[in-house]
């Protein structure tokens, strides 16, 4: 096994700001780069396998799991994280509906729910369930999350 | 901010913005990353460990083995039997053998891969029947040779469930340069970690200070130590801050699981349905180390018959050591496994008697003053029959879920679009369960609260300081509500939990609102008395005073003086410990004792659709009724009832750690199936507040009952839909088709 070479430079745009990461190991995921290189810990590291959605971010406007994207792939592209997303209505609704317990899934759900409401301003229960099926929550049982998305859609 | 109000969580805004700091988000200047070398064998003798190559790798600062543990080399919640780092033997797949610290996490992982451990592989004990007995709890209640008109028997198997909190085991240890260490950690009980770490590190407790970091769920998984000692050892060795954050696969071997078990039951009843006796043997696999197995088996045994009047009981609960993954605490704590068995038995009995299953349960339901099979008379409200009636009275779903556009989402198979309704059968099932709240068997259960009242920017402020772990359940807000209610002050701040205040006990056993809530209440009352004494000495009022809306008011509610004016520069601080009523040891021969402090009850009804051709299950709806005594925060209580039911659904139809020859085969969220938003149906709830005369505000512990009877109700519904005698969970497609 070769040594861990820290020799990649990533120039990217994060939440509208140009950012540069130096001395990156090529194997670092976008999630790792966001968290440990740029200090944006809002995207969460729950499964790091694309199953739980806790690290959901926008990459050039597309909803992705940051854990499944290599940091280097964000070079020259634009990333929007929970810290930068304009999701006030969703965030307020999550607070009011009681959709937050431990909250580890919440940032990913906020981004995913925001993405849904951009596409479908007034989703049905079924549309909410389908859109958020990639976001695992271990605390709430999801009922309050569905209520929160409806609440946000009503604003 | 008062008791009984659905106050919004103060930690929710930072959580929705992504700025709340969890234990895996911590960083410090000059921080190193830890990685763990783990056993690839479930059982082996360690001949030698050669870390020379790993130590020489770039970026590596330390590689530690058991030889580097300065203090106690073993730890454990009940029995100290688990090595901090393995010596002589490894006893389960994934056991920690060595730890590495390096500049970059990938350097640490690769160095861990270069630690050469020479193992002599030994045959593992992987069947509980072959395991060494860790504890055998016996209940001998009533006539041991009782006979009955109608007898039903069954043997039930429960799979191993994972708590799967989303936040990984993680934390940051920072050496203080004077031989001590500060650990920022996500744990359910700071002080028991501190006590164990001080022993392991060979340091006095004052030199091992713990501060709570944000916790991404717990559910029992954070009761035992995981990376705590490893991070501290590495930090003290290197003189640098060390962060360890487990990957998901590592998390599956980094914490204990819910015990798998085999439960053999015999129920006897009169022809009118009155239960005469229950005989049961409950065998749980504790895995390689004791963890909290000895307490789990006590629960499984004490609550083996469910919330029913059983005059004669012969129960043997046995937990064994094996070379399977260690098992311990998970939400429900022993009362989950047995509920699948006793509820299946009640349904079997109803069938044998030709009775309605709910009527049979109601007929035998425990009532106030009845004796549990431990002989303990159950005081306070015992609304088992009422809970069953209430879940039965919810209108049933109409069966229109599968109509119209997007209907496939609501059918078994979901978006896989495997049926349009053909071969789908509906079933309805019921279950009831109960368990103890707080610690049992004579444990000195207590919590400590410090409450401070002072003037801040011209307004009175209350600061509450406890060590209670906010795992997501909302106990921080409960503390604020209690202090706000008792002190009549609007500005209440709950400080972060740490070891600078006394122990709060664990956020376990659904006890924290009761015990720490009780401590905050006691400390707040003490502060209140001092404030009122001060007011009385200054105002000489004609009538009794109280505090309301930041002011001292008279008996008629007329403001006399603002608190800010009365207090001036004074700081009023009181610390109190709160203890609930005492419990007692189980008699070793009969299990008879007042071993439990409080009992909590819930009932569930489940409606399922089963694709009988493919063996796929869709849970259509859950309904629950639970007596919470008093809902301190109704919104949080609803969250517990719904979220707890989701974990029950998981064990019933999805979640199982697959262990083959001692090796976990599905240690990832790809292969370990957690309920998603597509799997979890709406939950109808009926929350009763019947008031326990013994507890603060009449409250009952809330968190665990939802996880107990939800799954058994689902399995009952699947039986009703399919006519199959399902005797294991989680229910798999092959169980419904082959």
* Confidence class for position A87, pLDDT limits 50, 70, 90: very high
For the stretch B66-78, pLDDT in tens is 999 999 999 999 9
Q: What is the DSSP letter of A36?
A: I
Q: Which of B17, B212, B604, B673 to mutate to test the interface with A (most CBs of A within 10 A)?
A: B17
Q: Residue B118 class from Cβ within 10 Å (0-12 exposed, 13-18 middle, 19+ buried)?
A: exposed
A118 domain-assigned? yes
Give the tokens for residue B230.
């490893």
Residue B622 has pLDDT above 90, yes or no: yes
Average pLDDT over residues A78-100: 98
Q: Residue A71 phi/psi, 5° resolution?
A: -55, -45
Mean predicted lDDT score pLDDT of chain B: 97
Query: Residue B646: pLDDT above 80?
Result: yes
B635–A47 C-beta distance less than 8 A:
no
Contacts of A120 (CB under 8 A, 6+ apart): A127, A131
Helices B357-364 and B335-353: angle between axes, nearest 10 degrees: 110
A80, A102, A117 — which closes off a domain?
A80
Is the confidence at residue B480, as pLDDT, over 70?
yes
Structure tokens at B142: 């009533």
A100 contacts in B (CB within 8 Å)?
9, 11-12, 15-16
Q: Are residues A68 and A106 in the same domain?
A: no
How many of the other CB atoms lie within 10 Å of CB of B497?
A: 26
Q: Are B250 and B162 in contact (CB under 8 A)?
A: no
Q: How many H-runs (helices) and E-runs (strands) does chain A carry?
A: 5, 5
- In this structure, are A106 and A123 located in the same domain? yes
Please give, rounded to a whole number of angstroms, the shortest distance from the CA of A107 to a CA of chain B.
6
Put simply, the answer to whether A107 touches B15 (Cβ < 8 Å) is yes
CA–chain centroid gap for B39, Å, is 27
Contact at CB, B677 and A94, closer than 8 angstroms: no
Nearest to B554 by CA among B532, B530, B522: B532
**By CB neighbour count within 10 A (0-12 exposed, 13-18 middle, 19+ buried), where does B256 fall?**
buried
B344-382: pLDDT as tens digits: 999 999 999 999 999 999 999 999 999 999 999 999 999
Mean local confidence (pLDDT), B78-84: 98
**Which 8-state DSSP code applies to residue A101?**
S
Q: Which residues pair with B608 in a beta bridge?
A: B427, B619
Please name which of B587, B605, B584 lies closest in space to residue B595, comparing C-alpha atoms: B584
- Phi first, then psi: what are they for B241, rounded to 5°? -60, 140
pLDDT at B1: 85
Backbone angles phi, psi at B462, to 5 degrees: -110, 130
Buried b (16+ CB within 10 A) or exposed e, B331-352: bbbbbbbbbbbbbbbbbbbbeb
Closest Cβ opposite residue A4 in set B22, B107, B680: B107
C-beta separation of B497 from B558 below 8 A: no
CATH of the domain at A99: 1.10.150.120
Measured distance CA(B701)–CA(B646) in Å, rounded: 18
Number of H helices, E strands in chain B: 16, 31
Q: Is residue A13 domain-resident?
A: yes
**Within this chain, do residues A71 and A131 fall inside the same structural domain, yes or no?**
no
Determine the average pLDDT of the residues in B166-172: 98
Whether omega before B287 lies within 30 degrees of 0, making that bond cis, reads no
Q: What is the pLDDT of residue B541?
A: 84
Q: Are B84 and B66 in contact (CB under 8 A)?
A: yes
Asked if B219's CB is within 8 angstroms of A49's CB, the reply is: no
pLDDT band, very low/low/confident/very high, at A1 (cuts 50, 70, 90)? low
Tokens at B192, concatenated:
């028991």
**Using one digit for the tens of pLDDT, what is the confidence trace for B200-226?**
999 999 999 999 999 999 999 999 999
Do A109 and A53 contact (CB within 8 A), yes or no?
yes
**For residue A44, what is the domain's CATH number?**
3.10.20.30
**C-alpha distance from A39 to closest chain B C-alpha (Å):** 9
How far, in Å, CA of B675 to CA of B645, rounded?
Answer: 11
3-state helix, strand, coil in chain B (%, to 5): 30, 30, 45
Decide if A3 is inside a domain: no
User: How far separated are the first and last CA of chain A, in Å rounded?
Assistant: 54
* Cis before B339? omega within 30: no
Domains of chain B: 13-124+168-215+222-254 (3.90.1170.50), 261-440+585-737 (3.30.365.10), 446-578 (3.30.365.10)
Q: Which of B6, B7, B16, B470 to mutate to test the interface with A (most CBs of A within 10 A)?
A: B16
pLDDT tens digits, one per residue of B688-733? 999 999 999 999 999 999 999 999 999 999 999 999 999 999 999 9
Q: Which chain A residues touch B409 with a CB distance below 8 Å?
A: 126, 129-130
User: What three-state secondary structure class fits B607?
Assistant: strand
Task: Say how far apart CA B375 and CA B368 lie, in whole Å.
Answer: 13
> Which residues make beta-bridge pairs with B210?
B183
Signed CA dihedral, B699, B704, B706, B708: sign only: negative
Structure tokens at B19: 């700025």
Q: A102 with A138: CB under 8 angstroms?
A: yes
* Domain identity same for A94 and A67: no
State the nearest Cα–Cα gap between B521 and chain A, in angstroms. Answer: 24
Cβ contact B399:B694 at 8 Å:
no
B19-68 confidence digits (pLDDT tens)? 999 999 999 999 999 999 999 999 999 999 999 999 999 999 999 999 99
CA–CA gap between residue B157 and residue B159 (Å, rounded): 7
Residue range A124-138, pLDDT digits in tens: 999 999 999 999 999
Please enumerate in sequence order all residues whose Cβ is within 8 A of that of B558, keeping only pairs 6 or more positions apart, or say none: none
B98-148: pLDDT as tens digits? 999 999 999 999 999 999 999 999 999 999 999 999 999 999 999 999 999
Q: Are B398 and B699 in contact (CB under 8 A)?
A: no
Predicted ipTM of the assembly: 0.98
Is A45 part of any domain?
yes
Q: pLDDT value at position B482?
A: 98
- For residue B254, give the 3-state DSSP assignment: helix
The answer to whether the Cβ–Cβ distance between A128 and B22 falls below 8 Å is no
**Nearest CA to CA, how far is B536 from chain A (Å)?**
41
Instruction: Determine the average pLDDT of the residues in B399-409.
Output: 67
List the domain range (segments joined by +) for residue A138: 88-153
Domain assignment present for A102: yes
- B214, A45 contact by CB (below 8 A): no
Query: Average of pLDDT values for B673-688?
Result: 98
Distance CA B454, CA A146 (A): 42
Residue B663 pLDDT greater than 60, yes or no: yes
- Given A80, A98, A117, the domain boundary residue is A80
Q: Tell me whether residue B133 is exposed, middle or buried, using C-beta atoms within 10 angstroms of its C-beta: 0 to 12, 13 to 18, 19 or more.
A: exposed
Instruction: Look at residue B401 and tell me whether its pLDDT is greater than 80.
Output: no
Do A137 and A106 have their domain in common?
yes
Q: What is the CB neighbour count within 10 angstroms for residue B76?
A: 18
B303, B434 Cβ separation under 8 angstroms = yes
Same domain, A74 and A13: yes
If asked whether residues A27 and A65 sit together in one domain, one would say: yes
Exposure b/e, B587-608, CB count within 10 A at least 16 = b: eeeebbbbbbbbbbbbbbbbbb
Cα distances (angstroms) measured from residue B582 to each of B14, B380, B442, B505, B595: 40, 16, 7, 15, 9
HSE (side-chain half, CA atoms, 13 Å) at B345: 28
Same domain, A117 and A59: no
Residues A51 and A114 grouped into a single domain: no
- Whether A51 and A70 map to the same domain: the answer is yes
Contact B248 A49 (CB under 8 A): yes
Closest CA to A151 of A87, A82, A94: A94
Contact A126 B110 (CB under 8 A): no
Facing A4 at nearest CB: one of B110, B165, B676: B110
Q: Is B251 helix (H, G, I), strand (E, B) or coil?
A: helix
Which A residues, 29 through 88, put their C-beta within 8 Å of a C-beta on chain B?
35-36, 39-49, 51-52, 54, 81-83
> What pLDDT was estimated at residue B687?
98
Same domain flag for A61 and A107: no
Q: Judge if A94 and A147 occupy the same domain.
A: yes
Q: How many residues does chain A have?
A: 155
> A80, A96, A126 — which closes off a domain?
A80
pLDDT digits (tens, 9 = 90+) for B512-556: 999 999 999 999 999 999 999 999 999 988 889 999 999 999 999
Gap from A96 CA to chain B (nearest CA, Å) = 7
Residue B536's CB is within 10 A of a number of other CB atoms, namely 13
- Overall number of domains in chain A: 2
pLDDT score of B403 more than 60: no
CA of B531 to nearest chain A CA: how many angstroms apart? 35
Q: Are strands A8-14 and A78-80 parallel, antiparallel or unpaired?
A: parallel
Does a structural domain hold residue A73? Answer: yes
Question: Nearest Cα to B82, choosing from B251, B196, B165?
Answer: B196
């Amino acid at each position: 096994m070769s040594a861990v070479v820290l020799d990649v430079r990533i120039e990217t745009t994060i939440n509208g700001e140009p950012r540069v990461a130096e001395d990156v190991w090529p194997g670092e995921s976008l999630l790792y780069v966001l968290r440990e290189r740029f200090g944006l810990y809002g995207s969460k590291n729950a499964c790091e396998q694309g199953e739980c959605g806790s690290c959901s971010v926008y990459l050039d406007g597309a909803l992705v799991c940051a854990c499944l994207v290599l940091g280097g792939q964000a070079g020259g592209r634009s990333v929007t994280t929970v810290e930068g997303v304009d999701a006030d209505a969703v965030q307020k609704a999550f607070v009011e509906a009681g959709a937050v317990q431990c909250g580890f899934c919440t940032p990913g759900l906020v981004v995913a729910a925001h993405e849904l409401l951009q596409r479908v301003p007034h989703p049905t229960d079924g549309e909410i369930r389908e859109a958020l099926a990639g976001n695992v929550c271990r605390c709430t049982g999801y009922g309050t999350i569905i209520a929160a998305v409806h609440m946000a859609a009503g604003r | 901010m008062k008791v009984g109000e659905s106050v919004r969580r103060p930690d929710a805004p930072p959580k929705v913005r992504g700025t709340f700091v969890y234990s895996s988000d911590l960083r410090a200047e000059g921080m190193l990353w830890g990685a763990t070398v783990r056993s690839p064998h479930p059982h082996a003798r360690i001949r030698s460990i050669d870390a020379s190559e790993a130590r020489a790798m770039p970026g590596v600062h330390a590689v530690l083995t058991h030889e580097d543990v300065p203090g106690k080399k073993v730890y454990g919640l009940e029995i100290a039997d688990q090595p901090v780092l393995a010596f002589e033997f490894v006893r389960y797949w994934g056991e920690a053998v060595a730890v590495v610290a390096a500049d970059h996490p990938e350097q640490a992982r690769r160095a861990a891969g270069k630690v050469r451990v020479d193992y002599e592989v030994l045959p593992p004990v992987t069947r509980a029947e072959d395991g060494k007995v860790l504890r055998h709890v016996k209940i001998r209640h009533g006539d041991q040779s009782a006979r009955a008109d109608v007898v039903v028997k069954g043997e039930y198997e429960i799979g191993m469930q994972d708590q799967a909190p989303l936040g990984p085991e993680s934390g940051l240890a920072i050496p203080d340069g004077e031989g001590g260490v500060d650990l920022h950690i996500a744990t359910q009980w700071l002080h028991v970690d501190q006590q164990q770490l001080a022993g392991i590190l060979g340091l006095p407790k004052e030199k091992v200070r713990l501060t709570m970091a944000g916790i991404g769920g717990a559910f029992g998984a954070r009761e035992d130590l995981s990376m705590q000692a490893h991070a501290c050892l590495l930090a003290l060795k290197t003189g640098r801050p060390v962060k360890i954050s487990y990957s998901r696969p590592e998390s599956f071997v980094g914490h204990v699981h819910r015990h798998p078990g085999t439960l053999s039951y015999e129920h006897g009843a009169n022809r009118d349905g009155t239960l005469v006796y229950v005989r049961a043997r409950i065998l749980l696999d504790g895995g390689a180390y004791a963890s909290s197995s000895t307490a789990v088996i006590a629960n499984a045994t004490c609550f083996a018959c469910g919330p029913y009047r059983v005059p004669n009981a012969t129960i043997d609960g046995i937990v064994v050591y094996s070379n399977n993954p260690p098992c311990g605490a998970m939400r429900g704590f022993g009362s989950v496994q047995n509920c699948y068995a006793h509820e299946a038995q009640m349904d079997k009995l109803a069938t044998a008697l030709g009775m309605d299953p709910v009527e049979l349960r109601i007929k035998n339901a425990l009532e106030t003053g009845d004796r549990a099979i431990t002989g303990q008379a159950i005081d306070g409200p015992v609304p088992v029959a009422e809970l069953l009636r209430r879940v039965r009275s919810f209108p049933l779903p109409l069966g229109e879920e599968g109509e119209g556009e997007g209907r496939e989402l609501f059918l078994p198979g979901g978006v896989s679009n495997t049926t349009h309704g053909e071969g789908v059968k509906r079933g309805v099932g019921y279950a009831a369960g109960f368990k103890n709240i707080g610690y049992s068997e004579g444990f000195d259960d207590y919590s400590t609260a410090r409450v401070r009242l002072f003037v801040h920017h011209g307004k009175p402020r209350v600061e509450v300081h406890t060590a209670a772990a906010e795992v997501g359940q909302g106990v921080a807000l409960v503390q604020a509500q209690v202090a706000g209610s008792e002190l009549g002050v609007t500005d209440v701040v709950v400080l972060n939990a740490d070891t600078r205040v006394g122990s709060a006990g664990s956020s376990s056993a659904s006890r924290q609102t009761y015990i720490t809530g009780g401590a905050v209440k006691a400390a707040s009352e003490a502060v209140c008395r001092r404030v009122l004494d001060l007011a009385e000495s200054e105002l000489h009022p004609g009538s009794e005073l109280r505090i309301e809306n930041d002011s001292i008011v008279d008996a008629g509610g007329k403001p006399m003086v603002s608190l800010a004016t009365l207090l001036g520069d004074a700081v009023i601080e009181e610390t109190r410990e709160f203890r609930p009523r005492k419990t007692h040891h189980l008699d070793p021969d009969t299990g008879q004792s007042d071993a439990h402090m409080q009992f909590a009850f819930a009932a569930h009804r489940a409606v399922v659709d089963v694709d009988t051709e493919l063996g796929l299950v869709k849970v259509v709806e859950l309904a629950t009724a639970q007596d919470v005594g008093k809902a301190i925060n109704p919104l949080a209580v609803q969250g517990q009832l719904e979220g707890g039911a989701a974990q029950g659904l998981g064990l019933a139809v999805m979640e199982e750690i697959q262990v083959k020859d001692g090796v976990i085969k599905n240690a990832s969220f790809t292969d370990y199936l957690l309920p998603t938003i597509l799997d979890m149906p709406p939950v109808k709830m009926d929350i009763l507040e019947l008031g326990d005369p013994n507890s603060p505000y009449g409250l009952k512990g809330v968190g665990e009952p939802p996880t107990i009877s939800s799954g058994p109700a689902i399995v009952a519904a699947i039986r009703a839909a399919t006519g199959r005698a399902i005797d294991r969970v989680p229910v798999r497609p092959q169980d419904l088709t082959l």
